[in-house]
Each structure stands twice: as C-alpha cells, then as structure tokens.
Structure 1
Amino acid sequence: MSDVTNILASLKQKKYAPVYFLCGSEPYFIDQVSDYIEDNVLDEGEKGFNQMVIYGKEATMEEVLENAKRFPMMSDYQVIIVKEAQHLVKQLAKLESYIEQPQPTTILVFAYKYKTPDGRSKITKLLKKHAVYMESKPLYENKVPAFVTGRLKEMGYQIDPNATRMLVEFLGNDLGKINNELSKLALVHSKEQPITPQVIEDNIGISKDYNNFELRKALGVRDVVKVHRIINYFAENPKENPFVLTTAQLYSFFVQLLKVHTLKDMNPQAVAKAAGVNPFFVQEIITAAKNYPMKYCSRAIKVIRDMDVKSKGVGTHQADPTDLLKEAMVNIMSK
C-alpha cells in the first residue's frame, strides 16, 4: 500500500510521470490510481479532446502508441488510459522504444490486472527503470481491518472494532467488495454515529451474534451452550457461513493461542503483537489462552485438521459438516 500512497501523493501535488504501469493480483489499488488520474489530471473542458480510454482486448499496441505520440490540444497534457492491458501481454515488447523516449506531454496509464509481466523480460526491466511501476498485491488478512478503518476515516466515519471484525470475516480480503459495501453504508448511515455490529447486521445482512468470531469467543470461554447454538445457526444458513471458512478461522484461532503461549511476558501489547489482533481483543485472547494450555491448543489443531480431512471424504462417507463441527467442538472443549 505504500506504493499506492506515494503515487497518489505525487499525483495530488501534480507531479506527473509519462508512463504508469499498474499491475498485480489486487485490482483495487490499480483502480485507485487509474481512477484518480482519469478523474483529476484534466479538467472537464480539457477531457473532450485530450483524454482517451482504450481497452486492451479491443486494441493493438500500435494503436496505443500512435495515440500516445500525439500532442495535446489546448492543454498541458493528454491522458491515455489502457484498461484490460493484460490482454496486450504478447505485444508488450513493442513498448520498449517508447518507454526509453516517451512523449513528455502524454500521461500513459496501463491497468494490467490480475497478473504481472515476466520480470526477466527487457520491457519489464525498462518499465521498472523509466516508468512508475506498481505491483498491486492482496493484503494479508491481518492488514485488512486497518484498511477498513482507514477507508472509513477518509469517508468521515468511525467504526466499532467488532463491526470491523464482522466485515473482514464476511468479505475476506476482497478490497473491491469491501469498498463497495462501505460505500453502501455511507449512503444510509450518519457520520455522527459510529458504525456498530447492529448497523452491519441491519444493512449488510451479517449476524452480529452468530458468526465465526462469536464462535471463537464462545469457544475461548468454554461456553458450550453458545458454541452449539452458533453451530446450529450455521447449519440453517450454510451459504452465509461456509464450513471451509469456519475451519480456517478455528485453525487460525488456536495457532494464535500457541503463539501467545510462547511469550515470556503476557502484557497486552506483546499479546496483541504475537496474536496479530487489535488491542481491543487482547483480553479475549488472554482468557482463551488460560482456558487452553499449550498441549490443549496442539490437540485442538489436530482435531481441526482431522475434521477438515473428514469433510473432504477421507476416511468417512458423506460426512455432514454440522456433525463434524459439533464433534470437533466436543473434543476440543473436553478436558
């Protein structure tokens, strides 16, 4: 994200480069930069003659370069944005001479999504040397909560940590989807009030009481009744609560506890860092660590792995996910 931040900061200062090559598997950051250029470099009067969007699926590199070499009309710059540029992968080498001597009054942007060009090729080396080259990578899950709070802060909103956790669990690290949901929330929720779990439940449809984080919390305090209540809710709403996601969350939970058990000092800051959680949730982790000593965490991880294997049909026949989950919870919570 630092590359995105630096690029946007330069653009806002009107420091433009002749070529931007935006690539990688996370389309959100690519769109963030290309959309900013499309919306802000030229004013509305200049865009009619000096801004063009080309789609790589429908164009050739020769056409792109022919337009890039033109001079702007009654403007300091012309902007050419090549969307779906990954479809030009076999023609990238034709960029070599232009990259070394680009048209200084053209801002040429390639939105090369879902992949990166061959790093060994001459053109990629030239792009890295002479252009603004950005490789957009997905955020690790533990970085997504900060993205959510940061994005909402930009929009003028505050969000409760539990609400953030609900969003991240439900939407994963798909930043485009997260941004869309946050934009929808902004249409219906006042900036005067923080976004709470109830707001998320009312507007996005995620249950604030029956989700994987509530399951982990109930498991951590050995609340047998609540654990089984949540599992029954999952059984009734399997599409919103996929078994594979629950398995991953449970595995991650006990791995976190194992990391905490390796600490010599169980102060909140050290626990938050070891577990990779917001300090707001440290007490939950400390309580769970007390309830599950290291050997129990190791056993729990084995139980979860066995459950995962059985769910895939290994060593059993048509195992029901709910039954597997209930059996695993009993084995994990037994002493």
Structure 2
Amino acid sequence: MVLEVWRKIKKKEIAPIYLLYGTEAFLINETKQLLLDHILEEEEKDFNFSAYDLEETSVDLALEDAETFPFLGEKKVVFLHNPVFLTAEKSKEKVEHNLAKLEAYLKEPAPYTVMVISAPYEKLDERKKITKELKRNAELVEAKKLGEHDLKNWVKERAKNNGLEFDADAIEQLLALSGTNMFMLASEVDKLSLYAAQQKRIDSSLVEKLVARTLEQNIFTLIERVVQRRLDEALRIYYDLLKQNEEPIKILALLSGQFRLIYQVKELSRRGYGQQQIAGYLRIHPFRVKLALGQAGSFTDEELAHLMGLLAEADYQMKTGGMNKSLLIEMLLFRLKR
C-alpha cells in the first residue's frame, strides 16, 4: 500500500531496493521525491544521486554505480527508469542488459545504496524470473489510481503534513469540484493550506470559495441544475463557460459523455454491479461512478433515451453547420428541462 510505504520513508525506515510500478505518475514522482528528501541532505544530492534510463543505458552501468561507495556522506540513491525487460514488450532500443548480474545484486544489495526501479507500466510480466526476484526482494509500491477511501485519506494526510485539519465534508466537496487527478488535487490542497494557515482548518465553505472547477465539473453541475429545474442557473454556468472561451462543440461532447455515463451506470447497477465493479468495467475512477449514480436516480430509462436522442440531434446539427453553435446548446438546455 503506497501510503504505508510513505509513512515508513518519513520514519527513516528505508529499504535497500524499491520497485515502483503502475501508471499513476503522481504516486511514482511523490515516492521518488520522498526517498531523495529523506535519504540525502541537499548538499549531498549532487554527488550521491544518479539516474539511468534503461531504454538507453545498460543496467550493468547502473549496477557499477550502485556498488561504488558514496563520495560524501553515508548513503547514495540510484534511480533506474524504464526497465522494459520487466514487461512483455520488446525494447525499441538495442541495449543489452546483464539480468543475471541484476538478480545477484537483488539478493545482496550494497548496504550504502538505495536503488529505486521505476516501471511506469500497467502490467509487469510475472512469468519472468527477474520480475519474480524483484517482487521477492524489493519494497513494492504499486502506483495505481487510489480508490475513494484512500484518496480521501491521502488528502487528509497531505493537509496534516501542512499543519491543518481537513473536514470530511470539505474533502468530499474538493473531490466533487476538482475530480480525481492527483496532480491537480495536490495543487488545490497546498493552495487551501496556505490560505487557511491561521485557522489551521479547511472547511467546505473555503473549498467552495477557492477551488477551481474543472470543465467536467462545470458540466456536471450544469446537469444537476437542469435536473433540479433551475434552468436560469444552468444557463448562467453555460454563459460563464462561453466567456472562458470554451468551445460549444466541446461542451456538447462533455454533456453527451456525462449522460452516456449516467445511462451506463444505471443499467449496470440494475444488473447488480457494485460501484467498484462498474468503475472497473467502464475503466473510470469509482468516485465518478458514485456521482453518476447519484444523478441516475433522477431519470427514467425513457427520459435518458429521449435525452440521448436530443444530444445526438444537436451534435448532427452542430457538425453540419445548420445553426449558430452557441444558440444550439442554449436551445438544447431548454429542451433538456423536463
């Protein structure tokens, strides 16, 4: 569990070898930065930190570096990026890797070196001996998208590291407004922490006041206002998006996508799928499923089918240039209101 590994690193419980694997770039970057900051002093980084791209450089060179004593200080850190030999993919580069030497190192790592192998791949080839040896000997950090519970814990912990408490409903509000992109969430949490430095607490009203809304969230809110028959507010959101130079065709695409998602989660839920199962089936974050399920209860199947038809008709008219694009969506919003 990545959050557990982070806690160990902060306590200076450092393993000799780390394997970071998965496609959530934020978790990989954050883990690497934590390791650097908790192993080396700032003045040591120029001498005792090195990185190798294994698509361009043989692992032999990285191993020689790892086995060389630190120039200054007691520890050195060696990053190995893009170990394509851990996957079923064929390397584009003709680089020879002495994997037997790497296997031997994994069994007896240099006591003064922390080796960090960063594999930004969705899957590793579990059939390969080197993969098995790594998983047996390294501290594992699976960089996959965090579920809702872990994401909320991460937000709470990041705020705590900044010396603040984050109200539970404020975290829910933050995820609803910013989505689940961890780079964006980190930026928003840090911004909120700076603003709330005096009161040491972040509540939902502060989140509402300061957090930037993604285009997707504005579309979600727009649909909410239509569902609630608050057409004036829905139109105000739409006009604000136009002022921000958002293209009508993009707004229409996102409207269509959200209604398609509502239809899909409603159907899958009826078939007995749970929130996590739906997220896996649709390959989206579970929090998006949760929000869509909340909206799905406001529509019957017939209403959704009718709305999808209206959206398809608007898309056709927009692409054939039969009407002013901005006016087309404005008229669509009037027709969406039930």
What is the TM-score normalised by the length of structure 2?
Answer: 0.69
Which structure 1 residue ranges, 5 or more long, are not aligned? 264-271
1:81 aligns with 2:95: no
Q: What is the rounded CA distance, in whole Å, between the counterparts of 1:255 and 1:191 in structure 2?
A: 45
Q: What is the rounded CA distance, in whole Å, between the counterparts of 2:11 and 2:24 in structure 1?
A: 25
Cα gap change, 1:125 to 1:214, in 2 (>3 Å): same
Counterpart of 1:223 in structure 2 is 230
Q: What is the rounded CA distance, in whole Å, between the counterparts of 1:293 and 1:182 in structure 2?
A: 38
Cα gap change, 1:59 to 1:327, in 2 (>3 Å): same
Cα gap change, 1:80 to 1:207, in 2 (>3 Å): closer
Counterpart of 2:18 in structure 1 is 20
Cα deviation, residue 16, structure 1? 3.2
Counterpart of 1:194 in structure 2 is 202
Counterpart of 1:267 in structure 2 is none
Which range moved further: 48-57 or 30-39? 48-57
Aligned amino acid, residue 196 of structure 2: H
% identity of equivalent residues: 20
Q: What is the rounded CA distance, in whole Å, between the counterparts of 2:259 and 2:305 in structure 1?
A: 12
Cα deviation, residue 29, structure 1? 1.0
Counterpart of 1:333 in structure 2 is 337
Alignment of 1:171-210 (within 5 A): 172-190=179-197, 192=199, 193-196=201-204, 201-202=209-210, 205-206=212-213
Q: What is the rounded CA distance, in whole Å, between the counterparts of 2:336 and 2:69 in structure 1?
A: 69
Counterpart of 1:67 in structure 2 is 65
1:248 aligns with 2:246: no
Q: What is the rounded CA distance, in whole Å, between the counterparts of 1:166 and 1:245 in structure 2?
A: 20
Q: Is the 8 A contact 2:177 2:214 kept in 1?
A: no
Deviations 1:128-172 (A, max 9, x none): 2222233312346897566545533543142584785466544x4
Cα deviation, residue 20, structure 1? 0.7
Q: What is the rounded CA distance, in whole Å, between the counterparts of 1:273 and 1:175 in structure 2?
A: 13
Deviations 1:66-93 (A, max 9, x none): 1211345796x5231316x127765565
Cα gap change, 1:49 to 1:220, in 2 (>3 Å): closer
1:276 aligns with 2:290: yes
Counterpart of 1:53 in structure 2 is 50
Q: Is the 8 A contact 1:160 1:194 kept in 2?
A: no
Q: What is the rounded CA distance, in whole Å, between the counterparts of 1:98 and 1:150 in structure 2?
A: 35
Q: What is the rounded CA distance, in whole Å, between the counterparts of 1:184 and 1:73 in structure 2?
A: 38
Q: CA RMSD in A?
A: 4.5
Which secondary structure state, in structure 1, belongs to the residue aligned with residue 115 of structure 2?
Answer: strand
Cα deviation, residue 176, structure 1? 1.9
What is the TM-score normalised by the length of structure 1?
Answer: 0.69
Counterpart of 2:30 in structure 1 is 32
Cα deviation, residue 108, structure 1? 0.8
Q: How many residues align?
A: 308
Cα deviation, residue 179, structure 1? 0.9
Which range moved further: 142-151 or 58-67? 142-151
